[in-house]
Chains A and B, each alone.
Chain A
Amino acid sequence: MPEEKRIILKYADEPGYTRDIDCYLEHGGYEVLRKSYKLKPEDIHSEVMDSGLRGRGGAGFPTGLKWKFLDRKSGKPIYLICNADESEPGTFKDKQIIHKDPHQLIEGMMISAYSIQAKQAFIYIRGEFFDGARILEEAIEEARAKNFVGDNILGSNFSCDLVVHRGAGAYICGEETGLIESLEGKRPYPRIKPPYFPAVLGLYQSPTIVNNVETLCNVKHIVEMSGKEFAKIGTPGNTGTRIWCVSGHVQKPGYYEFPCGGLTMGEMIHDLCGGLLPGRELKAIIPGGSSAKVLKADERFSGKLKDGTEFDWSIWDIPLDFDGPAAAGSMSGSGGIIVMDNSTDIVQALSNINAFYAHESCGQCTPCREGVQWMRKVTRRMCAGDARKDDANLLLSIANQIEGRTVCAFGEAAAWPVQSFIEKFKDEFEDYPANGSVSSETGDKQLV
């Protein structure tokens, strides 16, 4: 059985470990911050570059490269924002960090802020995380009292304040430009890129870095062990550990921290999560949060990896890192693995996902606003007993009209589940039983 390697969650679940600053300090807390402030900011940046750290929020973009894009010539203030708007269905890793080890995030942020020379940092936390927001605020006050946050941190001439900002309960606030709009006090309509790349025109039209909670925590460990050492964890191009969140039809759902590529999907489900429920068979797995494309139980995945090696995998063979699920045609996304066994009504499952995205579409741009709602209405009608043979093709066509044509990646997030569910379970959609009743959602056939 593969052994967990906990770096981020090293102490989180240790008996007796509490989230107050004293406990954190006893466990060597803020020592890395002390060490960091003796380094040059650009040295920390090159450590992060060396580490090969990729963003843990979903897209997996190299963190060091993101920092490199910062517009330092503009003379405008630089901002650091921690994206703690963890809202992707199936994902619950950041919540563990915030609740159990908030000082680790604060330390990671203050090191990152020093590296990019941000004088003001924000934690944008999901509106529903009211406990998390309170915990973070308390932790920041503790850290401020000990001069880890605020003016002249640890006697240096670097000052940076840290503020917790609560969202108001919208998934789209996890999109970095939507988050920035929300932080500015506006509706979280994502911005168009170009020209509004956060590293150039971010918060208050100033250069801004937005990183995920887990990503920022990793910065602390990179400085602690050096970027080169960090890069040895995991596999090339997939460095460090990842916290995977497993939910759905398994015996032991939960979160598991492993080196990237340190185990396969099969090991994760069978060995760590105790396998499927008794008497059930696997039907499908969504590997990276609900927006990732679904993988079917009996699929074979074959092709060439980035380094040229050929692969031929069953669903159980997929290595859990960034590139594995991507090679299988999906993505590791935010690390939310959703397992569905053969008790799942696949149309209902998609209807559930559609309902979420239709509810969360911000409404700014046309394809997402109208298309996602339309898909929701179709799958809801199907579930209500009025399925039609053509619905599968209709859904696929709508999804294709959304993908790649929206302001932000929400369009893909909503289109991919529909595309993949129908591509892989088309027969179930086409043969979905219709009991002849007309749901309340659909009335007479209407023109236009």
Chain B
Amino acid sequence: MSENGNGKKELVEIFVDGQPVKVLPGINAIEAAKIAGKEIPHYCYHPKLSVVGNCRMCLMEMGTPMRERETGEPILEEDGSQKIGWIPKPVIGCSTNVSPGMHIKTESDLVKDCREGVMEFLLVNHPLDCPICDQAGECSLQEYAMDYGRGYSRYEERKNVKPKRTRLGPRVTLDDERCVLCSRCIRFGQEIADQDVLGFVDRGSFSTLTCHPNKELDHNYSLNTVDICPVGALTSTDFRFKMRVWFLKESPSICTESSIGANTTVWSREGVIYRITPRRNDAVNDTWMTDSGRELFNQVVADTRLTSFQIGGNSADPTASIKEATGLLSKGRTAVVASCHQSVEEQFITRKIADHLNSSVYIARHFGKGDGLLLSEDHTPNTRGAFLNGLTDSLPTEDLSSLAEKIDSEKVDTLLVCREDLTRVGLSEAQLEKVKLVLLDTQTSATASHADVLLPALTVFEKNGTFVNLNFRLQKFSQAVPGPAGLLPDTLILSKILSTLTGESFPDSPATIWKSLSQSNSKFKGIDFSSIPIDGIQLEKSAFDHIDFPEKQSLKYSPAAITG
């Protein structure tokens, strides 16, 4: 690799079907062709896994500029251009790394013939399952069959018969007949999840994917194998046979499981979420996410979900509830309990409310075990947001015992609690009895049963907003499904409370809140909500170098990099 004076890698020029294109040195032909706008079809190659070259779908023609063996002088054509030495046999694109002046052909007759041949071979023993296959609609085999399939079959022999529903683990079911033996799932376990569970047994056309003896595919990253399976062999046991993928709406979201902030896609239809899959972001989660993070959408329809505004335990309409809440907050000696589960916008208004009421802000920590990969030690998505918003200038406390003391000493008699069950963070139900309590939350809890005013909140899937992840990356999530009927966005509820308290109108949607936020907070200066890119914005983090954040090494995070 060549570097110029600035330490930047110099691009190399290659030729894809005769078209010059400049690419980073060392990338393979599939990625280089992509830059040139040409797709080289492939099954076994995955940008985040090692290269094995077994599917042979990416066969292409390759040649390099010829030189005299003795002198190193370029050999020229009659027209003066350098002669290209074409390799007589097709080569695979995945293991062919670019070199200066390299030529590749992705559209020649030979290349087309290679792809058609591989396609035909892949289909001879593949079942005609598409009408009942979960992968249909997002299947590489279907897509490339449209491009390179014959449209009819020359295969008149019996197809191989293999098991149709093998349980590989609690969340993954294998349909062996559909497997094209690309080994992506095996490599994922070995190289990413560090769980070497899967392997092939038997030989040739009868090769079969299976778990190693006495093991099963039960680690917390098992569903990534379903994502990267290019065909319908590995299926999610939960999603299996539930929905055709082409009916599903895709909404970009952010995983709230931990401060990693894995980028996700939420797949829904008619207001119901069917699955969550990772969305590629090379700065955050590559193309992976945890199994546990995919199950978080169950909170949307949980039995414990709060679905109505309540005053004193009785249903009330939103306007009355907000008015009642405002009344309580303005009259009492109020403290505010904010949360790292709140979005940046919600935290911003919460800060404003606290400022107006001149009240202290309390935040409880939710730290736990990390896995060194994509589950960090901070099990909330937006601790960095709380710092940036000035809700706190030190790490959240282990519990809220200082608040409990204030209540006992009657220095606080009213609470605004956002997204927190106080009984789990150091307060007793007796203490809750002593105060007027306004609660904004999504799920019922011991705290909820003591609330004087209950303001039902929306889950991350039902609203728009932003979180700041452990690397201080500002990331946007979008509403995937509407919330339960009659519920309002958290920002709107908080904004109404603030407006009522101050008598001034205040913006109530993320887009309008950001106009105010970017003006009033220098750390967010110049950011416009609508123009936050899909893969986020890296914020300046040096102001927080002195904070001893709890996260340890993970896929894209290193504590040393933060602390200097």
Contact = CB atoms under 8 A, between A and B. Distances in A.
A442 B156 contact: yes
Interface residues of A, number: 40
Given A361-B205, A366-B118, A367-B121, A374 B155 contact: yes
B54 A365 contact: yes
B279 to A, nearest CB: 29
A371 B117 CA distance: 9
A446 B121 contact: no
B200 A363 contact: yes
Contacts of A402: 117
B205 A442 contact: no
Contacts of A365: 53-56
B198 interface: no
Contact of B54 (A194, A366, A441, A446): A366
Interface in B88-145: 89-90, 92, 95-96, 113-114, 117-118, 120-126, 128
Interface centre among A362, A369, A373, A397 (most CB of B within 10 A): A369
A407 B55 CA distance: 9
A445 B56 contact: no
Contacts of A394: 154
B56 A378 contact: no
A22 interface: no
A187 B207 CA distance: 12
A377 interface: yes
Contacts of A370: 121-122, 124-125, 205
Contact of B203 (A170, A195, A381): A170
B243 interface: no
B155 A448 contact: yes
B547 interface: no
B203 to A, nearest CB: 6
Interface string A382-424: 0000000000001001000110111100000000000000000
A447 interface: yes
A195 B94 CA distance: 11
B158 interface: yes
B94 to A, nearest CB: 9
Nearest to A364: B54
A374 B157 contact: yes
Contact of B157 (A361, A362, A372, A441): A441
Nearest to B202: A363
Nearest to A403: B89
B202 to A, nearest CB: 8
A373 B53 contact: no
A447 B118 contact: no
B37 interface: no
A377 B203 contact: no
A430 B202 CA distance: 34
B435 interface: no
A445 B156 CA distance: 6
B456 to A, nearest CB: 52
B181 interface: yes
Contacts of A194: 95-96
Contacts of A75: none
Nearest to A377: B157
B180 interface: yes
Interface string B302-326: 0000000000000000000000000
Contacts of A405: 56, 59, 89-90, 114, 117-118
17 contacts: A187-B199, A194-B95, A358-B204, A361-B203, A363-B181, A363-B202, A366-B55, A367-B118, A377-B158, A394-B154, A401-B113, A401-B117, A405-B59, A407-B53, A442-B158, A447-B152, A448-B128
Pairs A-B, 7 closest by C-beta atoms: A401-B117, A363-B207, A370-B121, A373-B205, A377-B157, A361-B204, A192-B53
